[in-house]
Structure 1
Amino acid sequence: MKYWVAILALFALASPARADWYEASSEHFVIYADDSEKDIRRFAENLERYHSAMAYILNQKLDAPSPSNRVVIFVAGNQRDIRELAGTKDKTLAGFYLPRAGASRAFVQDIRNKKGYPSFSTTVLLHEYAHHFLISTTRYEMPRWMSEGAAEFFAAASFNGDGTIQIGRPAQHRGMELAFADGVSVEQLLDHELYESSRSGRYDAFYGRSWALYHMLTFSEERRGQLGQYWLKVAQGTPSIEAGREVFGDLDALDRELDAYLEQRRMMNYVLKPEMIPFGPVTIRPLPKGEAEMMVVRMRSQRGVDEETAGEVVEDARKIAAKYPGDAGVLTALAEAEYDAGNDDAAIKAADAAIALDPSRKNAYVQKGYALFRKAEDADDKNAAFEAAMAPFSQLNALENDHPLPLIYFYRSFLDRGEMPSESARHALEWAYQLAPFDKGLGMNVAMMQAAEGKIAIARDTLGPLSADPHGGGLAKRAKLYLSQLENATEGESWRPSIVVVDIPEIDADDGED
């Protein structure tokens, strides 16, 4: 995975929508695609089967997410469209995922429902959802090899015509890597500092070997239970390489065993029958003409824009909105584009119009709240301004009690007017992170709040997974720095960091490298 902070490229807005757009809504996903209703339904059902399969294999029962905390998937076109949307020329980019509280977004290529092994774009999505699922089920950090090995293990899945799903198949998309890329030893997998120091700069087999080790430890009779024992030791604070030697024994011998394992002609995998992986209904909604025409604008906005591209997007949004003044979906997207362009009053006006037409449009409340918060920063009477800014978030909370954004902005409403957050506001921020543990920036804010309250041990527990995040970039570095500083902090005494690290990537794009 790579972090792309490049600016959003133009996304072919001149071309009209190619087909009818549909929204597929299920318990864990919302999918937007201009494809056939049949293919979209099958795609949504397969993703729900995948979620159920992970829950079954890992023996994890997750509560259903609040509606706005589901993963929203935009089927954005071909690989070139994905590159333009991501703002990169990297030809290996197959899709990307943005984990954000109340706004997790995945962008994938056109749907290709295949029997057997899925298309590469689907594999990328399955890999990212595996990360999303694993983060949501445990707060114990995984070593990088294990995190990537697990995601690769689950992403190597097959959806069969009889409703069965196979999990843990040989990772075909890693075949060339394992055969021709620079080798990575088990010792390097377990000791990430050693791996980083010995990298040649060339493409290597880190992900393929991580998958292979995870797969072998999952199915090997001789090593049954060792993967769990290893992870437990790491979670208890034992360095990964030490835990590996204690649990796995001679690592050179394990390396040879892994090589032999990869030379097998057949490998085990899980085959789960339909009755083992039940899932809820999928609801399909055809998008009205205006909302369908606005989808490209919506994707650009929710991917993220800068000052220049925000101006381009809002101009396109206004043109479409002028044609469909009575479409609540169009007006909601217009409100977001106006807010991104810095036009707070226009954003509020569009959001109010959308809510008047359809009070269930949750993003309209969000965009109105965002705009009011920004206006409140310069208000003479900040107390009154921030109280007014909380109104749309309170309305949103009434629509969806566990939407994380009203909880986050309740906390912010104190900070932004220079006041100490109340106890209920602090609890609200912690609850938001419970609802959205995949949002690492939110996790950092929670950890700093806990440390400022003198809850040093709890803050360290919160920072642990952030510091070990293999894709955390600057945020992971900051978490490691704070953890080291907290070693000398006194429980019960307020603590604040002495150094601030600011190189935090904002966008997490998957190029198929993990």
Structure 2
Amino acid sequence: MRFARVMALVAAAFAPTVARAEWTEASSAHFVVYADESEAQIRRFAEQLERYHAALAMLTNASPEPPSPSNRVTVYVVRSEQDVRKLHGGNNRFLGGFYLPRAGGSLAIVPTVRTNSRDLDQSMSTLLHEYTHHFMLTSSNFPMPRWYAEGAAEFFSAATFPSAGGVVIGRPALHRAAELLVPGFARDVPVSELLDPPKQTPSRRYDAFYGKSWLLFHYLTFDPERKGQLNRYLQGLTKGRSSREAALEAFGDLAVLEHDLDRYLIKRRMMSFDLKPSLVPSGPVSLRRLAAGEAAILPVRIRSERGVDAEQAKALLVEARAVAARHPDDPRVQAALAEAEHDAGNDREAIAAADAALARDPTLAKAYVQKGLAQFRLAEEAADRAAAYRQARVTFAQLNRREPDHPLPLIYFYYSYMRQDLPPTELAFNGLLKASRLAPFDLGLRMTLVSELVRRHRLADARAAARPIALNPHAGPLARAAQRVIARIDAEPQWDGHDFDILTASVADNAEDPGAD
């Protein structure tokens, strides 16, 4: 009794204040949104996100395939920025929201978003910024320099949604005005440094990198005298030029570019794209009011999907079991309980909860995933490991038949060989390739593909697959591991990958760096 009470107190300490009135799910082609808002508000929010996606597709001339239902971005709208910071962890008091890119489970957590205001609040700007990264990784495998990736995210996310529909893209990024205009507010970043970053950047708490990246992207997009130069710069990169070489070929003298940027910054008016509703359709949005049990388990689900450590998992399980006891017949409650049991190390209990969910709703993808994950972990210690892994594959195969483009069944089919120290079949390897195409934003998955390509002596392909990780500004230690892999491939063309795990070992427990610009 005392243990349960202590664990409940620990759970309360980590709990965001999300257990409020009635929650609604808004489902669209690219997003699933959960919010405790009016139906009109949540529908408008989902439609704005879809219009923003359509604007990105139109302006970048990209058309990525629609994701499978489980591979959409899930957006949880919690009450406040304080709740966001609790869920994120750490001590970033400026955090306005964050995004986690995962195959079959990408999610964003933001505070309440105002949808009826001309000017976006910070939480919506953060969400749009991070979704721009998600979109660009989905629509192109070509690794972009950091200034371009962040400049594009700043450019597109400076948006508004007129009441009549449509989207305005490319408005002045007013939240970057101080770092660009106020002397001494931030360290200035010369355009030459932006395009050719020094190996050792100055040790400052804050600088004008984001603002300057936005300014350069905006200028090259709209200035008539620079028309076509941004495309020529990108073409130079695709030909293997360094960022500086491509910039000199496309932009000319960088000192002149710096001077022109200074003049552009103080212009009284700047251009933007005003996209009418017919150009950026939102598509259908369906609403579903959550049942009492699903609403009650939602705080557990959010924290589980965010990720918990061992202590938090034990505390959260107390809460999950309490909700499940009150709502034993709700399959979504049982699926969330399965995740909480698995996180706490109780794999057999997780399988039982997943089976209970599937008995009531055999279409519930989350229940298949949690059952399969638990079976995989049990298989590691099974007396007959081969039989145990076969059984785990059956669960993921059932999900694959229901949702062929769900990436997790493909990934775990591949893992079922690797975890038995067996060479993956061609079918398993092709599944890994497909999963990486379906979820290019999952950099851990991409690194798994890099490892397999090295093992198969396809070093050129491995190098190409590693570059987007190596250049990703949010990949942290995973980016450094990819850089080491590329350096090894370049130095040793006959490398067989026998020490790949040793080379990348430092990222094993710290591969995820949540986007939180």
The bucket for the TM-score relative to the shorter chain is: over 0.9
* Contact 1:167–1:271 under 8 Å retained in 2: yes
- Which of the residues 190, 197, 202 maps onto 1:192? 197
Shift of 1:509: 3.2
Task: Mark the CA change 1:381 to 1:510 in structure 2 (over 3 Å): closer, same or farther.
Answer: closer
2:49 maps to 47
Moved more, 411-420 or 299-308: 411-420
TM-score, normalised via structure 2 length: 0.94
Distance, in Å, in 1 between the alignment partners of 2:15 and 2:236 is 52
- Which of the residues 377, 384, 391 maps onto 1:381? 384
- Which of the residues 407, 429, 432 maps onto 1:429? 432
Matched, 1:458 2:448: no
Deviations 1:74-117 (A, max 9, x none): 11220110111111232101111100000101111112113322
Distance, in Å, in 2 between the alignment partners of 1:26 and 1:451 is 38
Matched, 1:480 2:492: no
- Which of the residues 246, 249, 254 maps onto 2:257? 254
2:143 maps to 141
* Contact 2:46–2:285 under 8 Å retained in 1: yes
* Contact 2:469–2:482 under 8 Å retained in 1: yes
Letter in 2 for 1:347: A
Residue 17 of structure 1 aligns to a residue in which SS?
A: coil
Task: Mark the CA change 1:441 to 1:54 in structure 2 (over 3 Å): closer, same or farther.
Answer: same
Distance, in Å, in 2 between the alignment partners of 1:16 and 1:300 is 11
Shift of 1:490: 4.3
Distance, in Å, in 1 between the alignment partners of 2:461 and 2:140 is 15
Distance, in Å, in 2 between the alignment partners of 1:383 and 1:22 is 43
- Which of the residues 334, 338, 341 maps onto 1:338? 341
Matched, 1:160 2:162: yes
Shift of 1:11: 5.4
* Contact 1:474–1:502 under 8 Å retained in 2: no
Deviations 1:274-319 (A, max 9, x none): 1111232000000000100111000000000000000000110000
Letter in 1 for 2:252: G
1:3 maps to none
Shift of 1:200: 4.0
Shift of 1:417: 1.4
Distance, in Å, in 2 between the alignment partners of 1:186 and 1:73 is 35
Distance, in Å, in 1 between the alignment partners of 2:73 and 2:100 is 9
* Contact 2:474–2:515 under 8 Å retained in 1: no
- Which of the residues 197, 204, 208 maps onto 2:207? 204
Letter in 2 for 1:186: V
Residue 118 of structure 2 aligns to a residue in which SS?
A: coil
Distance, in Å, in 1 between the alignment partners of 2:34 and 2:103 is 19
1:259-298 correspondence runs (5 A) = 259-298=262-301
1:169-248 correspondence runs (5 A) = 169-179=171-181, 180-193=185-198, 196-197=200-201, 199-248=202-251
Distance, in Å, in 2 between the alignment partners of 1:17 and 1:10 is 12
Shift of 1:502: 3.3
1:59 maps to 61
* Contact 1:144–1:192 under 8 Å retained in 2: no
* Contact 1:191–1:240 under 8 Å retained in 2: yes
Shift of 1:61: 1.4
Distance, in Å, in 1 between the alignment partners of 2:514 and 2:96 is 9
2:445 maps to 442
1:58-137 correspondence runs (5 A) = 58-137=60-139
Shift of 1:247: 1.6
Distance, in Å, in 2 between the alignment partners of 1:192 and 1:312 is 45
* Contact 1:94–1:510 under 8 Å retained in 2: no
Residue 91 of structure 2 aligns to a residue in which SS?
A: coil
Deviations 1:390-430 (A, max 9, x none): 12101110110110000000000111112111010000001
Distance, in Å, in 1 between the alignment partners of 2:348 and 2:303 is 21
* Contact 2:236–2:246 under 8 Å retained in 1: yes
* Contact 1:9–1:84 under 8 Å retained in 2: no
Task: Mark the CA change 1:489 to 1:506 in structure 2 (over 3 Å): closer, same or farther.
Answer: closer
Matched, 1:509 2:514: yes
Letter in 1 for 2:360: L
Distance, in Å, in 1 between the alignment partners of 2:203 and 2:175 is 23
Deviations 1:216-236 (A, max 9, x none): 001111111111111221232
Distance, in Å, in 2 between the alignment partners of 1:9 and 1:243 is 53
- Which of the residues 300, 303, 307 maps onto 2:306? 303
* Contact 1:96–1:508 under 8 Å retained in 2: no
Distance, in Å, in 1 between the alignment partners of 2:32 and 2:382 is 38
Task: Mark the CA change 1:316 to 1:162 in structure 2 (over 3 Å): closer, same or farther.
Answer: same
Residue 25 of structure 2 aligns to a residue in which SS?
A: strand
Unpaired segments ≥5 residues, structure 2 = 1-9
Shift of 1:474: 1.0
- Which of the residues 352, 361, 384 maps onto 1:358? 361
Task: Mark the CA change 1:507 to 1:110 in structure 2 (over 3 Å): closer, same or farther.
Answer: farther
Shift of 1:363: 0.6
Superposed CA RMSD in Å reads 1.6
Letter in 1 for 2:213: S
Deviations 1:429-466 (A, max 9, x none): 01000000000010011011011111111111111111
2:398 maps to 395
Residue 226 of structure 2 aligns to a residue in which SS?
A: coil
Letter in 1 for 2:362: P
Moved more, 176-185 or 435-444: 176-185
Task: Mark the CA change 1:508 to 1:200 in structure 2 (over 3 Å): closer, same or farther.
Answer: closer
Distance, in Å, in 2 between the alignment partners of 1:203 and 1:480 is 25
Residue 130 of structure 2 aligns to a residue in which SS?
A: helix
Distance, in Å, in 1 between the alignment partners of 2:259 and 2:491 is 43
Distance, in Å, in 2 between the alignment partners of 1:473 and 1:490 is 26
Letter in 2 for 1:439: D
TM-score, normalised via structure 1 length: 0.95
Matched, 1:27 2:29: yes
